[in-house]
Amino acid sequence: MSTSSRAIVFAYHNVGARCLLTLLDAGVTVPLVVTHEDDPRENIWFQRVADIARERGIPVITPEDVNAPEVLARIAEAGPDFFFSFYFRQMMKAPLLAIPPRGAFNMHGSLLPKYRGRVPVNWAVIHGEHETGASLHEMVEKPDAGRLVDQQAVPILGDDTAFEVFNKVTVAAEICLHRALPGLLAGTTEFQAQDLANGSYFGGRKPEDGRIDWRNMAQSVHNLVRAVAPPYPGAFSDTDLGRLKVLRTLLVDAPAEVGQPPALTVEAGQLTARCGDGRKLRVLAAELDDTPLTAERFSALVTGKEHNSILL
């Protein structure tokens, strides 16, 4: 595909990296990339958009406020036809969105209108969804509310972590953008309005939101563990032995022990957690006070305790 169209790219994270490469591969001229300075408190496990841009000689800016007048002037001076936003974390206001004559478009990590807002992949896993995807849509001031350009679905398997789902969504975003670009560049795209009443909006998440309530059903606990497993901060609870971080689980296919309190024990040589509905989880990976917790280590710690277990 060859085109003389110019697009300013606002991007971060793996989706930002892959979608920037997709635009460049399509022959779109990118005169400027707007991205973020990395937060030293964040685990930077993903590709850096700034590195890709600089490798290709594209100017990069990292404004604290993308809506500041001097930033708008710099962006307008670049003469873009389009804006594309790929996992950019600042909200764009109307004066900024009005700059590109051929429109501003955002790639969102869900099947809109479901899971509008922040960290959509993590929320989808928490809620036990079996499918999510990527949606390319027009940008308006209301978050993730503009008309749809295209969508690409991916499955969520029952034991997928958010990291594994995010990798699928990254590929879905690349496919979605690649498929949509010819129509956008030619001006032939047929847009579809979103029915926001049938959707959902979610805010951001903090590490504390990974605290486990063991009184919940085993499926809910399993979903939380999957949703915040590394490279995210992880699910955790405070116990008599210290802070327990649960990194990977599997549902046990066995009758529920209804009426028994939540507890952590070792069964058949495997670390096992009983949840509020009496169903159990095999704990495949865990840490106790930041040190790996195996079944053998746990057994040594609870020797002499009732039933060689601890209540959760």
165, pLDDT greater than 80? yes
The packing angle between helices 13-25 and 162-186, to 10°, is: 30
Give Cα separations from 250 to 123, 161, 163, 168 (angstroms).
19, 11, 16, 21
The residue written with tokens 């079944």 in the block is: 295
pLDDT for 1: 41
When pLDDT is cut at 50, 70 and 90, the band that residue 147 belongs to is very high
Arithmetic mean of pLDDT over the chain:
95
How far apart are the C-alpha atoms of 139 and 95, rounded to whole Å? Answer: 12
Helix (H, G, I), strand (E, B) or coil at 207: helix
Task: Read off the pTM.
Answer: 0.93
Are the beta carbons of 5 and 81 closer than 8 angstroms? yes
User: 213-261: per-residue pLDDT in tens?
Assistant: 999 999 999 999 999 999 999 999 999 999 999 999 999 999 999 999 9
How far apart are the C-alpha atoms of 44 and 159, rounded to whole Å? Answer: 24
Q: List b or e across 129-166, with b for residues whose CB sees 16 or more CB atoms inside 10 angstroms.
A: beebbbbbbbbeeeebbbebbbbbebebeeebbbbbbb
Are the beta carbons of 288 and 241 closer than 8 angstroms? yes
Helix (H, G, I), strand (E, B) or coil at 26: coil
pLDDT for 18: 97
The domains of the chain, with CATH numbers, are: 7-202 (3.40.50.170), 209-311 (3.10.25.10)
